[in-house]
Amino acid sequence: MKLLGSDFYTLYQPYRCELRVYLKKTGQAEAPPGPYVEILRRLGERHEAARLNAFPELVNLSIYPWTKRPERTQEAIRERAPVLYHPLFHHSACLGSQTVELWGEPDLLLWRGGGYVIQDMKISRRINEKDHPETLRQLGLYGWLLEKTVGQAPAGLEVYTGSGEEIEIPYDGGRAAFEALETIQAVWRLSREPYSPVGWTKCGQCGFRPYCWTRAEKERQVALVAGIDRGLAQTLHAGNVRTVRQLLEQYNETTLAAVKRPHGTTLRKVGRLAPDILRQARAQDSGNEILLAPPEMPASPNLVMFDLEGLPPQLDETQKIYLWGLQVFGERPGAFQPGLAGFGPEGDEAGWRAFLRQAEAIFSEYGDIPFVHWHHYERTNLSRYMQRYGDPEGIAARVLENLCDLLVVTKKSLVLPLPSYSLKVVERYVGFQRRMDEYGGDWSMAKYIEAVETEDSQKREENMASILKYNQEDLAATWAVYLWLKAKVPAGA
């Protein structure tokens, strides 16, 4: 059995999943990577190439075939080469009762202070247990392999991040890496698939999503019930509750509330979540929505649909909003007003100032008009940017006071027969149809990153135009859901 450093990525990304390890090992067909993953790959290659320019004395070991490279790596180490690119180590180890071959290919070995520092190059700006456990495990394995090869522990483990920082990673002698390797080995030895519950976010960027999700829908698996997290799905599955119907047949509010499921490192009762989960299950089992109460809609003839596009902090020094989308709908509709961040160092603040000007103009024309958004992303980032750049005229504070989260309105009034309350899912349920063939948050980020990185002005303009069109459709989708909800308000209410 041969285990590679790249096997950690299979286990942990985009979210930890033992089933993905099994499907990859057994050759299950995988969907091609989406545009976001492809952009990240290209940026990673560019990041690596720029880093290598800093090492004129670099020994490039990647030119040697796999079978010859471990020997050439050891020769270069004996010669104390200052920088080794793509060295290759392998060593046997006992995992459980089985001897396995472990292989590791770090990006760089750097001679410092009487020993070699192992360094990997990643475009992410956050390397930690939550965001990138696979990187920590890889470096732990590389350190162990180097120690076995030269008889000396690494002088350090580092990640060269997308922001140009060298982040030191503690070396634990390979302990955490071996724990993960034992998990991978155990999955490989299974005679049939392990259970891993599907999840809307968890499965979103996984290449095996079409395989897993199609089967989950066909079997009406209990994990499809919105509100059932990974820990509860696993607990129910272990108790032979596999489908939505079985959940409804075997549990009521009292018995489900008493169920304990994994939550972090502890066990926690389902408790007060039980009634909501069972209502959701009934809706999905019947295919019909459940009305809880008439929707509480804002009383205004005109409303601003409000939607942001941003980069997560893993890909930027700070969480950056690159598009503040606004458009008034209602009796006196207005034009689409996008507040775009610039591409230079002052671009983030320029986007914020553009948004404030547009919001101020809307207030001047319409008064205290509601700003309707979906979920908490807009509220969170308004507060963040007020702290980051200030709000001298109080415009952002006024927007904050006038926010209306349409997701909250929806959940208070209706239980929908859907596996997720994502806007993209709900908009399809209410009959909204987009004109764009490609869209989505990841798609938008990919287009924006490409626009930032390209030197082709025409390509940049095309990318930004497509992002604007996508955001405008997001606003139209939010309005469509708003109208659908409003139609459920009793006449005269």
Residue 317 pLDDT > 60: no
pLDDT of residue 314: 57
pLDDT of residue 250: 97
Q: What is the mean pLDDT of residues 94-121?
A: 94
Q: What is the mean pLDDT of residues 330-358?
A: 95
Q: What is the mean pLDDT of residues 19-24?
A: 97
Question: Residues of CATH 3.90.320 domain(s) within the chain?
Answer: 2-188
pLDDT of residue 125: 81
Please state the length of the chain: 493
As given in the structure block, the two tokens for residue 286 are: 């019947």
As given in the structure block, the two tokens for residue 125 are: 């700006």
Q: What is the mean pLDDT of residues 464-470?
A: 95
Q: Which residues of 394-431 are buried (b: 16+ CB within 10 A; e: fewer)?
A: ebbeebbebbbbbbebbeebbbbbbbebbbbebbeeee
Q: How many alpha carbons lie under 13 Å from residue 46 in its C-beta half-sphere?
A: 11
What share of the chain has pLDDT > 90, as a percent? Answer: 83
Q: Which residues lie across from 243 on neighbouring strands?
A: 221
pLDDT of residue 238: 96
Burial class (CB in 10 A: 0-12, 13-18, 19+), 49: exposed
CB 292 within 8 A of CB 416: no
pLDDT of residue 315: 58
State whether residue 159 is helix, strand or coil: strand
CA distance 88 to 242: 44
The more confidently predicted of residues 345 and 115 is: 115
Question: Residues of CATH 3.30.420.10 domain(s) within the chain?
Answer: 302-486
Residue 313 pLDDT > 80: no
CB 410 within 8 A of CB 489: no
The amino acid at 201: T
Confidence band, pLDDT 50/70/90 cuts, at residue 329: very high
What share of the chain has pLDDT > 70, as a percent? Answer: 98
Domain spanning 302-486 has what CATH number? 3.30.420.10
Q: 14-23, 221-230, 246-255, 452-461: lowest mean pLDDT where?
A: 452-461
Confidence band, pLDDT 50/70/90 cuts, at residue 311: confident
CA distance 45 to 254: 54
CA distance 381 to 379: 6
**Backbone dihedral region for residue 196 (phi beyond 0: left; psi -120 to 50: alpha; all else: beta):** beta
pTM of the predicted protein model:
0.88
Distance of CA 351 to the CA centre of its chain: 24
CA distance 279 to 290: 8
The CATH fold assigned to 2-188 is Lambda Exonuclease; Chain A (3.90.320)
Residue 366 pLDDT > 70: yes
Residue 493 pLDDT > 70: no
Handedness of CA 206, 208, 210, 214 (dihedral sign): negative
CB 299 within 8 A of CB 325: no
How high does pLDDT run on average in the chain?
Answer: 94
pLDDT of residue 436: 82
Task: Of 262, 226, 220, give the one whose Cα is nearest residue 241.
Answer: 220
Q: What is the pLDDT of residues 379-400, one digit of tens each?
A: 999 999 999 999 999 999 999 9
Residue in the block written with tokens 């709908």: 329
